[in-house]
Amino acid sequence: MTRKQQLFPVTMVGSWPRPPVVMKALRQKHEGNLSEEAFNQVADGAVVEALRAQEAAGLDFVTDGEQRRDNFYSFVAEKMDGVKLTTLAEMLDIVEDKAGFERILQTLDVPAFSMKTAMCVGKVRRRRPLALDDYRFLRGHTRSPIKVTLPGPYLLTRSMWVREVSRDAYHAKEDLGKDVVQILRDEVLALKNAGVDFIQLDEPVLTELVFTQGQTLTFMCAALAARHDPAEELEFATQLLNQVTKGVSGVRIGLHICRGNWSQNEKVLLSGSYRPLVPYMKRMKVHQFVLEFATPRAGGLEALGEVLDGKELGLGVVNPRTAEVETSEQIVKRAEEAMLYVPAERLFLNPDCGFGTFAQRPLNTPEIATAKLASISRAAAILRAAG
Ligand SMILES: [Zn+2]
C-alpha cells in the first residue's frame, strides 16, 4: 500500500477459466490418480498463462486465476485437518432433511455430483497455508501487485458446518466459527508478512441471506445450517469478518460480495440491490468492497453512499459470463456514475466476479475474458487522461 499507485487501478476478482488440461488434472487428483506434484506441474503452466493474459490486458493487480482450486472455497479441504471434501450428491446421504436438500439440489443449475464442498468432520486446523504457496509461485513470475483471494469466514463456517457430521467436534456453528477465524487470521498475517498487496475475502452468501430470506439455497447449498433469521446470520458474518481483520494493517483487505456466478443463465442468479446489507457493510472493517454493478440484477449505486465513506470501491464493470465485450465508453460511463458516490482516488475497476468460479464450468473463454479486461484497462486510461 505504500507503492505509488495510479488512479482507477484495474484488478481481477479471482478466477480465470481453467484450460481442459487443468480440469482433467483436477479430476485425476481428486480420484487419487495424480500426485500433487504432477498436478502442480500442470497447474504451474496454467497459472503463468493466466498471468500473461492479465498482463497483456494491462491489469494493475493480478491473481493466479485460482487455477489450483476446484472452486473458490472447497480447496481449503486439502490444507486443513478436520475437513473432508465431498460432493453434494454424497451429502444427500448424510443430511437428515433429505427432502429439503433434494429440493435445493433441483433448483441448482449445476449437477450436484460435479460440485464439491468442504465439510467439517472434526476439529479444524490449518495444516498447511491456504494460499501462501500459490502467492509465492506467482510472485516469482511477475512484478505486478498481486491480489490473493480467500473464502470469507462466514462462507467457510456456514458451508463447512453440516450438523450431522460436525456436531461431535463442535457443539454449534458458532464454535466452529471461532476456529475458522483463527485459521483465516493466521493466513492473512502470513500473506501480509510475505508482502501481498491485496487480500480479498469472498462472501457471496451474504446476498443469498437477504434475497432469499433464508428460504431457498442456491449455489451454497451445502450450507443447510443457515436456516435462521437472516439478520442474525448477517450479524454473525459481520462479527466473524471483523475478528479476522482486527488490528491487521499494512495490507489492503477487500471484501467481495456478489449474487452467485455459477451459470450463464442470468435468470437463475440472485437479484437485488445491496441496500439490505448496508447496515452491516457500514460496520465491516475492510478497506475495499469489491462489488457487482455490470448487470441490472445488482441494483443501483445510490444505496452505498454511507458504506463508501472512507472506503474504496472495486466497481464491477463487465459481466464475466457473457460473450459480448463491454465497450470502454460504457465502462467510463459506469465509473463516472460511481464517482458521484466515491472519489476517483478510491475507485478501482474490476469484472463483476471471477471468470471460472467452479473448475469444471468455465464461465467464459480466455479470449473473451482477456478482451473484457483489456476494455477495462482502456477505460481506465481514458479516465486518467480526462482527470
Ligand atoms: Zn463473485
Tell me what the mean pLDDT of segment 72-88 comes to: 88
Q: How far is the CA of 386 from the centre of ligand 1 (A)?
A: 30
What CA–CA distance (Å, rounded) separates 296 from 275?
14
Q: Summarize the confidence of residues 218-226 as an average pLDDT.
A: 47
Mean confidence (pLDDT) of the chain: 88
Q: Say which residue, 113 or 158, is predicted with more confidence.
A: 158
Average pLDDT over residues 185-207: 95
How many whole angstroms from 153 Cα to the centroid of ligand 1?
Answer: 15
Model pLDDT, residue 231: 87
Q: What's residue 113's pLDDT? A: 55
Closest CA to 114 of 321, 354, 320, 359: 359
- 153-160 vs 230-245: helix axis angle to the nearest 10? 120
Assess whether pLDDT exceeds 90 at residue 142: yes
53, containing H or E segment: helix 36-56
Q: In degrees, to the nearest 5, what angle opens at C-alpha 66 toward C-alphas 64 and 71?
A: 175
Q: Compute, in angstroms, the gap from residue 289 CA to the centroid of ligand 1.
A: 12
pLDDT at 27 over 50: yes
**Secondary structure letter of residue 246 according to DSSP:** T
Q: Is pLDDT above 50 for 221?
A: no
- Interval 306-316: pLDDT, tens: 899 899 999 99
Q: What is the mean pLDDT of residues 161-183?
A: 94
Cα–Cα distance measured from residue 387 to residue 385, given in angstroms and rounded to the nearest whole number? 5
C-alpha cell read off for 121: 468432520
CA of 15 relative to ligand 1 center, distance in Å = 9
* DSSP structure string for 299-336: --SGGGTTTTTT-EEEEEEE-TT-SSPPPHHHHHHHHH
Q: How far is the CA of 273 from the centre of ligand 1 (A)?
A: 15
| Res 214 pLDDT > 60 | no
Q: How many angstroms is it from 259 CA to the middle of ligand 1?
A: 7
Residue 255 predicted with pLDDT over 50: yes
Confidence of residue 237 (pLDDT cuts 50, 70, 90): very high
Task: Tell me if residue 166 falls in helix, strand or coil.
Answer: helix
Per-residue pLDDT tens for 317-343?
999 999 999 999 999 999 999 999 999
Looking at the chain, the whole-number percentage of residues with pLDDT higher than 90 is: 65
Q: At what angle do helices 366-386 and 328-338 cross, to 10 degrees?
A: 60
Nearest to 284 by CA among 342, 234, 226: 234
pLDDT (0 to 100) of residue 222: 45
Q: What is the predicted pLDDT for the residue at 112? A: 56
Nearest to 360 by CA among 30, 64, 85: 30
- Position 261 pLDDT exceeds 90: no
pLDDT for 218 equals 46
Closest CA to 319 of 372, 366, 380, 371: 372
266 has pLDDT over 80: no
Q: What is the rounded average pLDDT of the residues 78-86? A: 92
Q: What is the pLDDT of residue 216?
A: 47
pTM for this entry: 0.92
